[in-house]
Chains A and B, each alone.
Chain A
Amino acid sequence: MEHIVIIGNGISGVTLARHIRKLSDKKITIVSAETDYFFSRTALMYIYMGHMKFEHTQPYEDWFWKKNRINLKKGYVKTVETKSKTLHFAEGDILQYDKLVIATGSKPNKFGWPGQDLDGVMGMYHKQDLENLEKHAPNKDVCKRAVIVGGGLIGIELAEMLNSRSIPVTFLVRESSFWNGVLPEGESEMINRHIKNHHIDLRLSTNLKEIKSDKNGKVKSVIIEETGEELDCNVVGLTAGVSPNINFIKDSEIETGRGVKVNRYLETNIPDVYAIGDCAEQHDPIGNRRPIEAVWYTGRMMGETLAQTICGNRIAYKPGHWFNSAKFMDIEYQTYGWVFGGKGRPDHEQHFHWKHADDTKCITVAYHKDTKEFLGINTFGIRMRHETFDTWLTEKRDVDYVMNHLPEANFDPEFYSKFENEILSAYNNQLQTV
């Protein structure tokens, strides 16, 4: 029986294993050094906040794996020997595979800041990071202030986590406005205000110079690059993005760039070795997508796709329309299609922006300025239907159609106030003034 070994028990690897099991009787082993069982990484924050316990972040009960004959091995893969198809573990044992899938996800970026490895400095990605945070920031007496470096999705989640335990937070963001490489200006600025409303000390256009240590090798303070100001703190969160977690294959024959290089079939340069999820890097980007997509949904889609290939129906990874979502403190965010922020916006992309007076809801609709084709939407504080936008994008609807049919896409709970009329009249007014 063919033995499929998957390194990494995140959403990509587990989705792959489930689908292989549905399609075949192959022997499946999932290897992880992080946890015994699959858990939802995106839910780590809720454990620290006390909304859930760790066990609640595990989507499958423990009996699930045995019942579906998916072997779980806890161990850290040190090296991969592709000629003999052997994995060597740090613990000393080995494992033979017939097909190998690398699904090891990411690790937090560190940019060589002085003091970045001190006690009390951490990312917020692995379960071990959470344990570390629990140790260094159990409450506001032990952790008098925390400094977060890097204004992206993980940074704002970490800020929300610390806030839930009333720990004062200083949030250093390199950009001139929160996540404005991705979010258009109006949205980004709304989120700035929302962060500040939560009494978080948001510092824009601010970089970290160094982290200072006390005599025990523990974080004492950080120095800010621009002003030289020294901020006392007990915890430093490094959340300046992530990069593929692939150090263990650097010495193997598998081709790597920033991530594991794969073709459209998620195959590496070595036969029978594949890579999926955050750690896979496409030779050429697919459409507007980045070559490395470190997103929950894309990891899952790669898993769904590769299962077909491994089970004899070789198909390419050909994702549909882009979508994503996040939550910024209390404001939910969804995006369908492409809406560009500060970085990489094509010349033909024009925006319509509407913001509610309460400053917690807004939308941005992107369209082609000549053809009026609808390109995408960002929505904050209003839930919208994935399926509706997916259909409209496929049908290449124009922006007028979308604006006039917006109520069909509403996904807010029953009895919620509706804003489509207000949005539509703002849209029509804007057309008159242009």
Chain B
Amino acid sequence: MSNKLNHSMSLAKPDALDITTKQKVALAIGIIGLIILVLALFNTNFPNKGLFLTLSLVSIALGTIIYSREAYLTKLEGIKNDGQWFKSISSRGVWGWVLGLILTGFYIVLYFYPHFLGLGKDGAENTGLISLFDPLSQLLSGRNASQWFVYGTLYTIAILAFGYKFILKYRHNRYQQIRTVSVMFFQLGFAFLIPEFMYVMNSDLPYYDLKSMWPLNYYIFDEWSVNGFLSNGNIGLALILFGIITIFVISPILTYKYGKRWYCSWVCGCGGLAETAGDSFRHLSSKKMSAWKIERWLIHLVLVFSVVMTTAMVYTYLGYDKNDFWLTRGLFITLVIGFLTLVFALVMFFRGKELGKDAKYGAIGLFSVIAILLIMHFTGTTDNVFYIKGSSLRSAYGIYIGSIFSGVIGTGFYPILGSRSWCRFGCPMAAILGFQQRLFSKFRITTNGGQCISCGNCSNSCEMGIDVRHYAQKGENIVRSSCVGCGICSAVCPRGVLKLENDSMKGRINPTEVLLGNDVDLMELVNQK
């Protein structure tokens, strides 16, 4: 046997393992729902749009529900990963690539060619797919749908339906169930319904997903957004203050107590989709050391980009009325530089030794950001920073990071790169939370003494590409900035070795050479060094 997988090229029967008749029926129901959407996309004019939209969404959800019930409820509770590396769709086979192409295509159209979806230009009526969603949008907020409303609805349906599937798959595991109910709740309520209702209450308020924090919602400090909030009296002011408090106060406290998982795998929408619809692809993330190296560079570069971009944006519009506002450009730049320096100083003071040579990279990073900001300050004119328009910087970020990286690659490449490539390689929010998780948090994954058998199930199922086994087989706790605390490594471990915990900071990082269970004198001799 060669261990190369023999992917069947047959589209009719690509998988090694069969599905039951009931599952085939369920698939058919789901596909009917999708076909309605496709027909709408190609401008089929449905007579009663509300009815067909309902039919479509209900079919998709129902198909997923029936399929999952047949897959999991017919078997005893336990780990259900049989055949995941045999199935074409979940092992980069033909179906995986087909799905990847469809998803990336969808994202490209969504972000760059929304008129193909039927978005009415300059106030014209919607057509095609978007018009199919008009009745639902009218119902919720009294306006016609946009491409974002279509996307938001499908996104929410995906999290709810596949969330249900995930809960069944892990019906023996309460951590997984509660966490999944949480992401389903936050997506449905905070990301989908509440912004629509806020619009009903006050149509001038910018879209605001309360659970989304800067720098993930990089647009919150844009001029239109800030103006939108500020021109809306106390409620607007309260919202933007809440936005600032979440990132500077609430998030650090929660991350200290629970690790970044409180956000990444309990609240966040990107994480929510990855954990539910993306669950079938989690094992595809690369665990190679080389991937980890790329990850560390890429994610921190995006973070630097987002900090510089946001600062430049705010800086540009602070300039308009110099004397009206206490926050002048000079003061703002000073505050930003002061804050970054303070963070760096605190980290060096408390964790300098631990960081070792990474401290050098941190220092280089900090000083380059400060240098960039100073250059910007002294070369900037009213519109230009670094001789380019501040707004170009912002739109570059929006296109390359906000759209292409997080959407097209992040989600479109689920079947190729695994479910969390955005969270892992790109998300600046994850970089900030991860930095804190690594250095100032009570969270860790505890390794259970000497019980590891190096089987690799934990590493295989880590969506963030952490080689969990590398730590577990040394009896060392896993304290990694990228860990989103999904808890699947712990669930799939056949020997009960891993446990997600919040405990004291002392002894949290515990490298060992000889594991528990051996001669106590030998352990003492070797581990003391």
Contacts and interface: CB of A to CB of B under 8 A. Distances in A.
Interface of A: 11, 19, 22, 40, 42-43, 46-47, 49-59, 61, 130-131, 134-135, 138-139, 164-166, 197-198, 296-297, 300-301, 304-305, 308, 315-321, 323, 325-327, 329-330, 332, 334, 360, 383-387, 390, 394, 411-417
B469 A59 contact: yes
Given A53-B5, A54-B3, A164-B82, A46 B522 contact: no
A300 B515 contact: yes
Nearest to A386: B449
B82 A414 contact: no
Contacts of B283: 52
Given A139-B16, A305-B519, A56 B459 contact: yes
Given A197-B76, A413-B173, A52 B460 contact: yes
Interface of B: 1, 3, 5, 16-17, 76-79, 81-87, 172-175, 178, 283, 288-289, 446, 448-451, 453-457, 459-460, 469-470, 473, 487, 490-492, 494-496, 499-501, 513-523, 525-526
B496 A383 contact: yes
A246 B233 CA distance: 84
9 contacts: A11-B454, A53-B3, A53-B5, A139-B16, A318-B521, A330-B78, A385-B448, A414-B487, A415-B175
B513 A385 contact: no
Contacts of A296: 453
Given A320-B516, A383-B496, A416-B174, A42 B77 contact: no
B167 to A, nearest CB: 13
Contacts of B288: 61
Given A42-B455, A46-B456, A138-B16, 9 more contacts: A11-B454, A50-B17, A130-B1, A305-B522, A318-B519, A318-B521, A330-B77, A386-B448, A387-B449
Contacts of B522: 304-305, 308, 315, 318
Contacts of B87: 50
Contact of B448 (A54, A305, A383): A383
Contact of B517 (A42, A297, A384): A297
A304 B518 contact: yes
Nearest to A14: B454
Contacts of A413: 173-175, 487, 490-491, 499-500
Nearest to A390: B516
A76 B58 CA distance: 62
Contacts of A297: 450-451, 517
Contacts of A56: 456, 459-460
Nearest to B453: A42
Contacts of B1: 130-131, 134-135
Contacts of B453: 40, 42-43, 296, 325
A305 B513 CA distance: 11
Contacts of B172: 330
A108 to B, nearest CB: 19
Contacts of A320: 516-520, 523
Given A164-B83, A330-B79, A59 B518 contact: no
A130 B520 CA distance: 37
Contacts of A414: 175, 487, 500-501
A416 B84 CA distance: 27
Contact of B174 (A50, A326, A332, A415): A415
Contacts of B520: 320, 394
State the 5 A-B residue pairs at the shortest beta-carbon distance, nearest first. Answer: A386-B449, A330-B78, A383-B496, A43-B455, A50-B83
A315 B448 CA distance: 26
Given A40-B453, A325-B451, A386-B449, A52 B85 contact: yes
Nearest to A51: B81
Most buried by A among B79, B283, B487, B495: B495
A139 to B, nearest CB: 7
Nearest to A313: B525
Nearest to A58: B456
Contact of B519 (A49, A50, A319, A385): A319
A16 to B, nearest CB: 12
A40 B472 CA distance: 14
A51 B85 contact: yes
Contact of B289 (A61, A384, A386): A61
Given A301-B517, A386-B451, A390-B516, A50 B81 contact: yes
A3 B198 CA distance: 74
Contacts of A131: 1
Contacts of B17: 50, 165-166
A417 B174 contact: yes
A395 to B, nearest CB: 13
B236 to A, nearest CB: 38
A413 B487 CA distance: 8
Contacts of B473: 59
Contacts of A308: 522, 525-526
Contact of A46 (B449, B457, B523): B457
A315 B522 CA distance: 8
A305 B455 contact: no
Nearest to B178: A415
A50 B82 contact: yes
Contacts of A323: 449-451, 517
A332 B83 contact: no
B5 to A, nearest CB: 7
Most buried by A among B85, B446, B491: B85
A52 B494 CA distance: 13
A43 B513 CA distance: 23
Contacts of B470: 59
Given A327-B494, A413-B173, A414-B175, A386 B457 contact: no
A62 B3 CA distance: 16
Nearest to B1: A131
A251 B522 CA distance: 35
B25 to A, nearest CB: 19
B84 A51 contact: yes
Contacts of A165: 16-17
Most buried by B among A57, A164, A316: A57
Contacts of B289: 61
A138 to B, nearest CB: 8
B82 A51 contact: yes
Nearest to B469: A59
Contact of B84 (A50, A198, A330): A50
Contacts of A327: 494-495
B10 to A, nearest CB: 15
B76 to A, nearest CB: 6
Contacts of B460: 51-52, 56
Contacts of B459: 56
A308 to B, nearest CB: 7
